[in-house]
Amino acid sequence: MNSQKPRLTKIARDLELSITTVSRVLRNRPDVNPETRKRVLEYVQTIGYQTKTKLSELPLIGVVDTFRRHLLSSYYDALILEGVDEKLYESGFLTTIIHTELIEREQGMYDNVRVLNQLSGIIWLEPLFNPHYLQIVSNHGIPCVVINSCEQGVQVDLVECNSFKAAKMATEYLLGLGHRAIAFIGGQLSYPNILDRLKGYTSALAEAGVELDQSLVVDDISLWNDEGGVEGVYRLFSRKRTPTAILLSSDFLVNGVYRAIKELGYSIPRDISVISFDDSPFASYLDPPVTSCQQPLKHMGSTAAERLVRMIEARPEDRSPQTISVNMHFIVRRSTGPAPSRSDGGRDARADRPERSA
């Protein structure tokens, strides 16, 4: 178990202060009341506590990820980490990166993930948090907050976006523009937040009395990058019905979607309207700028960090797992417009459509 956490907890309890305040004093942070600083320093001197800079003595929070689906440099991880680190630093904690592979390796070799013994808490990004990982975390007695990637039914603190609501709103917006041949491109449906986007899309169609056309759904994209977006568009346009609008499950695919649509000789939004998820930093710089369901990633990181600090402080009202659902903002840009007039109801017999080059 983490030797630092009980020490900080005992000092905080004895002085009737928060762990955050004690941590700030011991790290010589300036944002502490002088009288409080004096109390803490005098007390730790009486108990023989010595501040150290070894890893095991730092108030560390680990951010866990595979760094495969989302690279550390990707907008997804970068924005979440920015929010996490800012909030943790304010609260007197340091942020460190933990690779999931290290957890699996140590669990397999030693039946004890030693790196977790040095942490005060965990913020979990990926892989999908399931009962296996819950057992590992529980065995170490470490507070944990998951962002987005949690298997349904697992009892853990979770910060997520309301993807169902956002996808439903986006689809309703397209329906309001007169679109009926609305396609969906996505994949990795084992992640509940992605699956909810598909469910929101189908729910909006059903409520509007528009029959779901499975030929307009590509929900098994595995490549979460430009090539995945290209693949999704070419698969859609090889089928019997051409969409007038596409709801895209992630900005990781949007560059490829734009490229493929233009390769096929279509114009955005004159022929095809596009809505994507995330509102990544480059979304407003695309040609045309893409209409987005904005996932407030930095805010989600900050919210998860704040929740984790409250759990570490062990406030009685925070002992049961909570799910914090964050709403997305819908941002209309120039990638959406009225449905084109087609006598074939969405079918396009364009014979000169170019083939995809290898």
Integer angstrom CA distances of residue 190 from 18, 129, 146, 159, 198: 39, 11, 15, 17, 12
Burial 275-314 (b: 16+ CB within 10 A, else e): bbbbbbeebeebebebbbbbbbbbebbbbbbbbbbbbbbe
What is d(CA 159, CA 306) in angstroms, rounded to the nearest whole number? 11
How far, in whole angstroms, is CA 356 from its chain's centroid?
A: 32
pLDDT above 70 covers a percentage of the chain that reads 88
At residue 316, the pLDDT reads 53
- Sheet bearing 121-124, strands edge to edge: 94-99, 60-65, 121-124, 144-147, 157-161, 323-326
Quote helix, strand, coil % in the chain, to nearest 5.
45, 15, 40
Decide if 250 contacts 188 (C-beta within 8 A).
no
- Other Cβ atoms less than 10 A from the Cβ of 320: the count is 8
Q: DSSP for 250-270, please give it.
A: -TTTHHHHHHHHHHTT--TTT
Beta strands in the chain (DSSP E): 60-65, 94-99, 121-124, 144-147, 157-161, 182-185, 217-218, 245-248, 273-278, 291-294, 323-326, 329-331
CB 160 within 8 A of CB 191: no
Please report the pLDDT score of residue 317 as a whole number. 56
d(CA 358, CA 356): 7
The tens digit of pLDDT for each residue in 187-227 reads: 989 999 999 999 999 999 999 999 999 999 999 998 989 99
Compute CA distances 15 → 57, 60, 95, whole Å. 20, 22, 26
Confidence of residue 19 (pLDDT cuts 50, 70, 90): confident
Q: Is the pLDDT of residue 356 over 50?
A: no
- Give the pLDDT confidence score for residue 315 in this predicted structure: 58
CATH 3.40.50.2300, applies to 4-161+299-326? yes
Task: Give the CATH H-level superfamily of domain 163-295.
Answer: Response regulator (3.40.50.2300)
The upper half-sphere exposure of residue 55, i.e. CA atoms within 13 Å in the direction of its Cβ, equals 11
Q: Which residue has the higher pLDDT, 180 or 4?
A: 180
Beta bridge partners of 63: 97, 123
Residue 216 per-residue DSSP state: G
Q: How far apart are CA 315 and CA 212, in angstroms?
A: 48
Q: What is the pLDDT of residues 88-118, one digit of tens each?
A: 998 889 999 999 999 999 888 887 888 888 8
- Stretch(es) of the chain classified as CATH 3.40.50.2300: 4-161+299-326, 163-295
Local confidence band at 73 (pLDDT 50, 70, 90 cut-offs):
confident
pTM: 0.81
Q: Is the pLDDT of residue 49 over 90?
A: no
> What number of H helices and E strands is found in the chain?
11, 12
Would you state the pLDDT for residue 260?
98
Mean pLDDT for 37-54 is 75
CB atoms within 10 A of CB 213: 17
Q: How far apart are CA 1 and CA 222, in angstroms?
A: 39
